Chains A and B, each alone.
Chain A
């Protein structure tokens, strides 16, 4: 089966997704809201994520015997119309998240690498890669992650280490100055764009479980969380005071690097290697968005549907009309309740829903 993955592959891919997205624009967004306390917000958002991930893993463990996909689980447990509505919300989330990732990458290329291209010219090859990956199956994406993981990890570590000498960790103090309530609220509102575990919903029928589910995934989660918090802390220690005023982000960090140009900007090559994880993340989210359409369309859907691909592609042209930041703020304003439902409430209910779906499937089979 093209979409089957082992727990180890899933854990590695999850870690790559954390490394791919969380470093791109999150530090700057949080710094804009909370100043030097932004790194605390990252800790809280990982707490939310951790709890939801545990419940989702519990559901996967329950689902091991029946291997029901998310659509079937929702169809059988909460009725088909509700299921389709939930999948539609997921679709919107995934497409918007791809847009935000692509927008940040676009900024990175235009500001850091000094290469400005038209959005469509930039988007088409990324979309082509994503659709190629979808056609080849989730398993191919996971294996690609395995091949590139070592390189990406080295590049992330290099991103940490190279500016450490310049970092002033005194800037992290005093802790909690922005107010704990505000820190918590920001970690909630901003987390909608940076919770990476939600892709797991769409592969839960294809996970090969040998022994453990929780251990590899939670180790991966722990490492990802630690790296993210550390990078945010380094970011604040380096540029925290500049971020709100100059819209500083990882996507522009290369511009401010103090590397000696006589020796060349080799740090850009490191950034390029790390960028592969962002494109892998885009491919994973495109896969999930595509799956949402597949599940909503049901039996009318063939293996690779060009109409669905076109819908995903069209929605990815949105940043031509509004910036990623504008999209983000608008959608948080209007979509906070449905997004909270699928991102934070649904995982907590998934074990129960999975059991209900299993029971109803058994009854139907009898």
Chain B
């Protein structure tokens, strides 16, 4: 649609922050901006001052005067002009509906800080913020190469959220880039308030269990992933950047892994893996061994368990489900409470409530211990705690009803499900299934960085050599 000052004015009719300033610089001009989105000092410096004392004959002269600002452009149509206006640009019109937009955006937002979800002992402490421009600056600061490419998109009918697809040309697979851009362009939604909105659209299989799109709050991690051939998607208003393609093993990796000794990292990852598997299976095994196959439990331990649970009024399955549900309620409450209260609440919940339940004879001490151990183990994979908690409940339920057969069938079903998933030409369980031996250098075990000479084969890329 052709640019027209009248149409634009109609669009913002009745809005108090829609400000019009009439100027006379030889020809009659109108400067329009949204007061709430603009920085007054920038409007003054890049629009009003350059046009003061000017006696222009034509609009081209006005354009030349406004060129002192860095963000100056001619919007091609009314929609682009309206978008610029909502983003904080100031539009300058002449009487013939010629228009030029000048970047006068206000810099409202928090400053760069260490992200609360990815604290590290060693390594960079900068985290993404809610401003897309700042976030791209953080990436650009680490990737000083013209090969670092950004594709800018706008998603959301009403929010017009800026989305930047970032990748390294020559490393990222072009077909994956095209596929991601295509998916983002096809998103039809009223608004995008956070990157997690887009994660659902980027998931090819639309899986309801397990995360299929990676996310990070740390620019160094995002750059590390881009150097392996992945794409980073930065969304305005979200401090969480998305990364695709995503592998299951990434859940075992922590932001600090690459700044620590590789032997320690390997040990940590193996511990994380064992604790996650144990967290999901331990309650189910406890219940089904107590109900069906108690012979497996060593005799002394069995006697202890039986003594502890003799007076409990519930069946082992009900008892364990109660423990798990109470633990989940505590976790949920802890997340929602202010941090100072949260610590007290978790202490009260875990120690006092658990102890009181055991003393009152409502729950057995072994069940509380198994539930607590399983609950703590889940936090070694913090991004998937809720999903794993759900799986844990399901496996416990099946194990309680069907014994070892149920546990075996559940585990197999989960693995078949995980093994069937594939996003952007990347199998979810790579490098273990399919087996890609070269990629195991940074899966559960990690070799020292100087020995990582090849990029992972499981991530599609155009240059497999890490040395250029």
Taking CB atoms, residues of chain A closer than 8 Å to B398 are: 125
Interface residues contributed by chain B, number (CB under 8 Å): 33
- A141 in contact with B299 (CB, 8 Å): no
Give Cα A276–Cα B295 distance, bound, in whole angstroms. Answer: 20
Give Cα A316–Cα B417 distance, bound, in whole angstroms. Answer: 24
In the complex, A144 has a CB within 8 A of chain B: yes
- B406 in contact with A125 (CB, 8 Å): yes
Indicate which residue in A109, A136, A147, A283 contacts B433 across the interface (CB closer than 8 Å): A147
In the complex, A268 has a CB within 8 A of chain B: yes
* CB-based nearest A residue for B301: A264
In the complex, B427 has a CB within 8 A of chain A: yes
In the complex, A319 has a CB within 8 A of chain B: no
**What string of 1s and 0s marks CB contacts (under 8 Å) between A265-300 and chain B?**
110110010011001100100000000000000000
Taking CB atoms, residues of chain B closer than 8 Å to A114 are: 292-293, 295
Also in contact, A125 and B409, with CB within 8 A (given A261-B295, A268-B295): yes
In the complex, A115 has a CB within 8 A of chain B: yes
Taking CB atoms, residues of chain B closer than 8 Å to A265 are: 293, 295-296
Nearest CB on A from B288, distance (A): 9
* B window 422-468: CB within 8 A of A: 427, 429, 432-435
In the complex, A249 has a CB within 8 A of chain B: no
- A272 in contact with B298 (CB, 8 Å): no
In the complex, A186 has a CB within 8 A of chain B: no
In the complex, B405 has a CB within 8 A of chain A: yes
Also in contact, A143 and B408, with CB within 8 A (given A148-B415, A268-B296): no
In the complex, B404 has a CB within 8 A of chain A: yes
In the complex, B297 has a CB within 8 A of chain A: yes
Q: Which of the candidate stretches A77-85, A126-134, A226-234 sits at the interface with the other chain?
A: A126-134
Taking CB atoms, residues of chain A closer than 8 Å to B404 are: 109, 113, 115, 268, 272
Indicate which residue in A126, A144, A261, A280 contacts B299 across the interface (CB closer than 8 Å): A261
Give Cα A60–Cα B433 distance, bound, in whole angstroms. Answer: 23
- B413 in contact with A146 (CB, 8 Å): no
In the complex, A169 has a CB within 8 A of chain B: no
* B window 284-300: CB within 8 A of A: 292-293, 295-300
* CB-based nearest B residue for A106: B405
Indicate which residue in B296, B403, B412, B420 contacts A264 across the interface (CB closer than 8 Å): B296
Taking CB atoms, residues of chain B closer than 8 Å to A276 are: 408, 411-412
In the complex, B326 has a CB within 8 A of chain A: no
Nearest CB on A from B209, distance (A): 13
Indicate which residue in A133, A146, A262 contacts B432 across the interface (CB closer than 8 Å): A146
- A146 in contact with B298 (CB, 8 Å): no
Give Cα A146–Cα B420 distance, bound, in whole angstroms. Answer: 13
Taking CB atoms, residues of chain A closer than 8 Å to B427 are: 143
* CB-based nearest A residue for B414: A144
Indicate which residue in A125, A148, A268 contacts B293 across the interface (CB closer than 8 Å): A268
- B412 in contact with A279 (CB, 8 Å): yes
In the complex, A263 has a CB within 8 A of chain B: yes
Give Cα A128–Cα B416 distance, bound, in whole angstroms. Answer: 12
- B408 in contact with A279 (CB, 8 Å): yes
Also in contact, A115 and B433, with CB within 8 A (given A129-B416, A132-B413, A262-B298): no
Give Cα A113–Cα B327 distance, bound, in whole angstroms. Answer: 31
Give Cα A126–Cα B398 distance, bound, in whole angstroms. Answer: 13
In the complex, A9 has a CB within 8 A of chain B: yes
Also in contact, A113 and B293, with CB within 8 A (given A140-B419, A148-B415, A262-B298): yes
Indicate which residue in B300, B405, B435 contacts A122 across the interface (CB closer than 8 Å): B405
Give Cα A147–Cα B301 distance, bound, in whole angstroms. Answer: 32
Indicate which residue in A6, A129, A137, A143 contacts B429 across the interface (CB closer than 8 Å): A143
Nearest CB on B from A207, distance (A): 14
Interface residues contributed by chain A, number (CB under 8 Å): 40
- B403 in contact with A113 (CB, 8 Å): yes
Taking CB atoms, residues of chain A closer than 8 Å to B358 are: none
In the complex, B227 has a CB within 8 A of chain A: no
In the complex, A8 has a CB within 8 A of chain B: yes
- B416 in contact with A144 (CB, 8 Å): yes
Also in contact, A263 and B298, with CB within 8 A (given A148-B415, A279-B409): yes
* CB-based nearest B residue for A269: B296
Give Cα A114–Cα B296 distance, bound, in whole angstroms. Answer: 12
* CB-based nearest A residue for B405: A109
Taking CB atoms, residues of chain A closer than 8 Å to B417 are: 132, 136, 140
Also in contact, A140 and B416, with CB within 8 A (given A8-B435, A261-B299, A269-B296): yes
In the complex, A139 has a CB within 8 A of chain B: yes
* CB-based nearest B residue for A136: B420
Taking CB atoms, residues of chain B closer than 8 Å to A117 are: 402, 405
Indicate which residue in B298, B409, B435 contacts A126 across the interface (CB closer than 8 Å): B409
* CB-based nearest B residue for A264: B298
Give Cα A109–Cα B404 distance, bound, in whole angstroms. Answer: 9
Nearest CB on B from A15, distance (A): 14
Taking CB atoms, residues of chain A closer than 8 Å to B297 are: 264
* B window 377-423: CB within 8 A of A: 398, 402-409, 411-413, 415-417, 419-420
- A146 in contact with B435 (CB, 8 Å): yes
Taking CB atoms, residues of chain A closer than 8 Å to B299 are: 261-264
Also in contact, A125 and B412, with CB within 8 A (given A114-B293, A264-B295, A266-B296): no
**What string of 1s and 0s marks CB contacts (under 8 Å) between A161-180 and chain B?**
00000000000000000000
Nearest CB on A from B7, distance (A): 51
* CB-based nearest A residue for B417: A136
> Among the interface residues B296, B402, B406, B407, which one has the most CB atoms of the partner chain A within 10 A?
B296
Give Cα A129–Cα B415 distance, bound, in whole angstroms. Answer: 11
* A window 142-161: CB within 8 A of B: 143-144, 146-148
- B416 in contact with A275 (CB, 8 Å): no
Nearest CB on A from B210, distance (A): 14
Residues of A within 8 A of B (CB): 2, 6, 8-9, 109, 113-115, 117, 122, 125-126, 128-129, 132-133, 136-137, 139-141, 143-144, 146-148, 261-266, 268-269, 272, 275-276, 279-280, 283
Please give 19 more A-B residue pairs, beta carbons under 8 A apart, in addition to A8-B435, A143-B434.
A114-B295, A125-B402, A129-B409, A129-B413, A136-B420, A143-B419, A143-B433, A147-B432, A148-B415, A263-B298, A263-B299, A264-B295, A264-B302, A265-B295, A269-B296, A276-B412, A279-B409, A280-B412, A283-B412
25 contacts between A and B (CB under 8 A): A2-B420, A9-B434, A109-B403, A113-B292, A114-B292, A114-B295, A115-B403, A117-B405, A125-B398, A125-B406, A125-B409, A128-B413, A129-B409, A132-B416, A143-B427, A144-B433, A147-B433, A262-B299, A262-B300, A264-B295, A264-B297, A264-B302, A269-B296, A272-B408, A283-B416
Q: Which 4 A-B pairs have the closest CB atoms?
A: A143-B433, A143-B419, A140-B420, A136-B420
